[in-house]
Structure 1
């Protein structure tokens, strides 16, 4: 087995002093995966390490990669992702993945943070109350998607209008209004949740457009997809690329 010097250095930076048992049991696979993921991929483009790690944590939530999430989280913390940012990623994922899929990740994060001597709960990040969340959520939708979202919360057939209300008050009013991450970061992680779980191409195209509207432009989104590809595979990465291209075409 031959790992490149770059792959070895990056792996050591992620996991100082750690030797994977797969080096003994699956050396041929590790040679190709590590050289690809930790040399070829990480040296493609100019995405900073914190952003890369936030994107990877988000796609691992999206694809339900709990064991890899547990492995990557300490590396993300080593690369400067803060405990608050980790918590905000997990909290916001509940709106896009549902608590049934997110629940195990709460335990994983709490266990890893506690083991590193970080006292829980962390400082609160909420900026809204149950009374103010709807108005604030509506404004967040407008800030991110444009003025056309001003009255979206009360649109649609009466039988399902409450869901648009919840989208404004809960998804945006409860989560997007929190401190810890800004709108650009929140839209990036939403993009990652959607691309990783699959079957959400319509929403993924809309959020690709929202990312670009906020300044996360097409080359940036392609770099995010590229850095996440080893963790989610080619089909969903190619689907995401198609959605980015569709969003770009619609904006031209």
Structure 2
């Protein structure tokens, strides 16, 4: 698009809005504006004001985190065109090619390996086209992932205190039976979840439980390519997009435990309005306030007392 057309849209829809869109999505933003403008200028105006003039100008979340969460959500929704368009945007926002791929690989836990594989192949193609694929191939983890330097002696003191002697005994049972590596990660990140799922699978299918613990907690969640705060905010976005309320509440708590502020978690929820619509966003906002209230942090989101 030539500069005259860009200036035309700046005058029509606002210079700051168009400039922000060009900053965030230099490759395709004007195409998105132009086709909307051709058929419905009123809708284009309010869409721009809500997104690039509103939500995407707030900067409550750093741009890198916001875009990585959105990539995971578009993958979850199988919106592959928008997913692909955001990959270069994540690089522009400061993410590395390896971090972008890691968002996709971590999504395996909630969307399965087929959909994650489809996203990974698109990511590989895009990075190759950008001349940055070597940044992925040259930064592979060793065969044992990031587990080589771990030890039970170093990690056990970091576990939260067991709520009772019964829970302490249950912990030791699972550590002995399924290995400390996965259980240590689960205790560090998700001790708030309780043990019902573990007890159930231990009773009905311990072989599956071993596979599940090893894959997710023993390996996926220990890779360390994304910090836990970013990874858990991404999981909040995925569960919101998938409309999965049980794990959504779990990851709201987990992201707060790993350093995300209530306002940052809320911002993931509010930004999701543009991607998944209003109803799920409203439900999740209520859930966040409930979690904060239960954790003794009620009122932390209030701007007006």
Question: CA separation in 2, counterparts of 1:147 and 1:44?
Answer: 32
Contact 1:206 1:247 in 2 (8 A): no
Shift of residue 148 of structure 1?
Answer: 7.3
Say which of 94, 101, 104 aligns to 1:87.
Answer: 101
Is the aligned partner of 1:49 residue 2:49? no
Matched, 1:182 2:201: no
Counterpart CA distance in 1 for 2:292 and 2:212 is 25
CA contact (8 A) 2:20 2:57 kept: no
Q: Is the partner of 1:128 in helix, strand or coil?
A: coil
> Is the CA contact 2:22–2:30 (under 8 Å) kept in the aligned structure 1?
no
- Residue 121 in structure 1 maps to residue 165 in structure 2: no
Q: 1:115 to 1:201 in 2, by over 3 A?
A: same
- Assess if the C-alpha contact under 8 Å between 1:22 and 1:30 holds in 2: no
TM-score with structure 2 length normalisation?
0.73
Provide the rounded CA distance (Å) in 2 between the counterparts of 1:134 and 1:122: 31
Larger Rg: 2
CA distance in structure 2 between the aligned counterparts of 1:107 and 1:232, rounded to whole angstroms: 24
Partner of residue 86, structure 2: 72
In structure 2, the residue corresponding to 1:223 is in which secondary structure? helix
Number of equivalences:
248
So what's the TM-score if we normalise by structure 1? Answer: 0.87
Kindly indicate whether residue 25 of structure 2 is the aligned counterpart of residue 25 of structure 1: no
Moved more, 152-161 or 27-36: 152-161
Structure 1: segments with no counterpart, 5+ residues: none
Pair 1:165 & 2:230 matched: no
Distance in 2 between the 1:83 and 1:35 partners? Answer: 31
Shift in CA distance, 163/249, structure 1 to aligned 2, threshold 3 Å: farther
Preserved CA contact (<8 Å) 2:60 2:263: no
RMSD: 2.5
Mapped to 2, the partners of 1:41 and 1:10 lie a distance apart of: 11
Q: Within 2, Cα distance between the matches of 1:203 and 1:84?
A: 26
Seen in structure 2, the aligned counterparts of structure 1 residues 36 and 213 have a Cα distance that, compared at 3 Å, is: same
The verdict on how the C-alpha distance between 1:30 and 1:204 changes in structure 2, with shifts beyond 3 A counting, is same
Unaligned runs of 5+ in 2: 1-8, 152-177, 297-305
C-alpha distance in 2, partners of 1:17/1:240? 32
